[in-house]
Amino acid sequence: MNPAGAAAAASAGTTGRATRAFVDLDAYAGNVRVARSLLSPATELMAVVKANGYGHGATMVAREALAAGATRLGVATVAEGTRLRGEGIDAPIVLLGPIDPTEARSALEMALELTVASEALLDAVAEAARSLPLTGAAGVHVKADTGMRRYGATPDEAVGLARRVAADPTLSLVGFSTHFAAADDADDRFTREQAERFERCLERLAEVGARPRYAHAANSAAALRSRRHDYDLVRAGIALYGLRPAPSVALAAGMKPVLSLRSRIARVIEVGPGETVGYGRTYRAERAERAALVPIGYGDGYRRGLSGKGWMGIGGRRAPVLGRVSMDQTVVALPDGVGAEIGDEVEILGDPAAGAPTADDLAGVLGTITYEVTTALSARVDRHFLRGGVPVAIEGMP
Ligand SMILES: *Cc1c(COP(=O)(O)O)cnc(C)c1O
């Protein structure tokens, strides 16, 4: 590339590196439509795009979600919401988790809806709403802790907070929510208990005329398992990325993984008998064998726990990781009969038919969940967004 071209690529935030992620926007939109089709027409769908869209790239995914039928976006931090606003997204955005009271003002300035579970945060929101020149009432969701024992107010406190929001003309009670601790569990007794506590809160609010616009509780697991907990709004993250919330929960028919990860061989290594590969010399070749260097490592989110255990797809076959994953590089064995050369494509995560592991496979090897596999993908990896199989945008290091 000439210097001007290099500068243009840099300003577009892309690196031109061989190691890149592909985000299939058609697959994502298809998953949103499938999710939408499960719900009754009166139930709305929130697309959860926190943690940079579970590693997929929040802005592109958010736009796709809204075009495919989602009506709200869920984020975790004010910065995540601010970034979406900066990209021109004006749909309702909900901060799902706790923020510091000192952040209330910046959240309202970005027209983010807050999730409130304490008097301290509600005080800060009310104060900010009074002092800012907002065009309408500030949107507030009150969260009840019905058994997760994470974020939320006790049911009694939550009812009190919601009444306070409903009575304050500068605030609008957009939502009343809770979160399930074990919606992926085949035994749904605890989920039902949580739902009963939640519904008791809703009844108490109805008795005093403090009705939230949306009651909401379901995550992907709850929504995939039944229609029992949809209420007015379903908050779906992982299923929209085409990944199961847990091995015990099946995706709906037609849902497909969105993310794949590829690179190219940077060196073909002839490893002699008795030689070792990589740091710590944990892999020793018994016989002469061929290996390939792939420029990805734990600095990219290709976790070190895959050392000696993971595999990649080369030439349609499985190429096992040899020795330790380094920060920027990994060596894999070339399967017998695969005549690989520098520049050949490697599928690091993706289609098992290409020899590659799925996110589920990598989660299994790492003893974790798919959520952690995709969110681990670092900013160093360019995201190539595909429509009809063709890149329509590339997003690099911010
Ligand atoms: C992340 C999150 C979700 C989405 O969960 P998935 O399992 O990815 O569907 C829903 N609700 C809240 C409060 C969350 O924080």
Look up 143 and say whether it is catalytic.
no
pLDDT digits (tens, 9 = 90+) for 56-90: 999 999 999 999 999 999 999 999 999 999 999 99
pLDDT at 396: 87
DSSP string across 278-310: SGGG-EE-SS-EEEEEES--GGGT--GGGTTT-
In 3D space, the residue among 149, 136, 146 whose CA is nearest the CA of residue 176 turns out to be: 146
Select which of 28, 50, 241, 371 is catalytic.
50
Cβ count near 386 (within 10 Å): 17
152 by Cβ neighbours in 10 Å (0-12 / 13-18 / 19+) ranks as buried
Residue 2 has pLDDT above 80, yes or no: no
The predicted pLDDT at position 34 comes to: 98
Whether ligand 1 lies within 6 angstroms of the CB of 245 is answered as yes
Are 346 and 334 in contact by the 8 Å Cβ rule? The answer is no
Query: Is 229 a pocket residue for ligand 1 (Cβ < 6 Å)?
Result: no
pLDDT confidence of residue 397? 73
Q: DSSP for 203-250?
A: HHHHHTT---SEEE---HHHHHH-STT-TTEEEE-GGGGT--SSTTSP
Asked if residue 42 has pLDDT above 70, the reply is yes
Q: Are 332 and 311 in contact (CB under 8 A)?
A: yes
- Taking the C-alpha atoms of residue 204 and residue 198, their distance in angstroms, rounded to an integer, is 10
Reported pTM:
0.95
Q: Over the Cα atoms of the chain, what is R_g?
A: 24
Residue nearest to atom 4 of ligand 1 (CA): 237
Average pLDDT, the chain: 95
Q: Is the pLDDT of residue 194 over 70?
A: yes
Pocket test for ligand 1, best of 28, 48, 99, 234 (most atoms within 8 A of CB): 48
Q: What is the pLDDT of residue 13?
A: 61
Q: Is the CB of 219 under 6 A from ligand 1?
A: yes
Average pLDDT over residues 257-286: 98
What's the CA gap between 140 and 130, in Å, rounded?
A: 14
Q: Output the furthest CA–CA distance in the chain (Å, rounded).
A: 79
Best of 54, 145, 235, 375 for a ligand 1 pocket test (most atoms within 8 Å of beta carbon): 235
279 catalytic per annotation: yes
Residue 48 CA: nearest ligand 1 atom is: 4
Residue found under tokens 């800012």: 132
- CA 157 to each of CA 162, 267, 339: distance values in angstroms, whole numbers, following the listed order: 9, 61, 66
Closest alpha carbon to 164 in 117, 227, 203: 117
Return d(Cα 267, Cα 290) in angstroms, integer.
10
Is 70 exceeded by the pLDDT of residue 398? no
DSSP E strands in 105-210: the ranges are 112-116, 138-143, 171-177
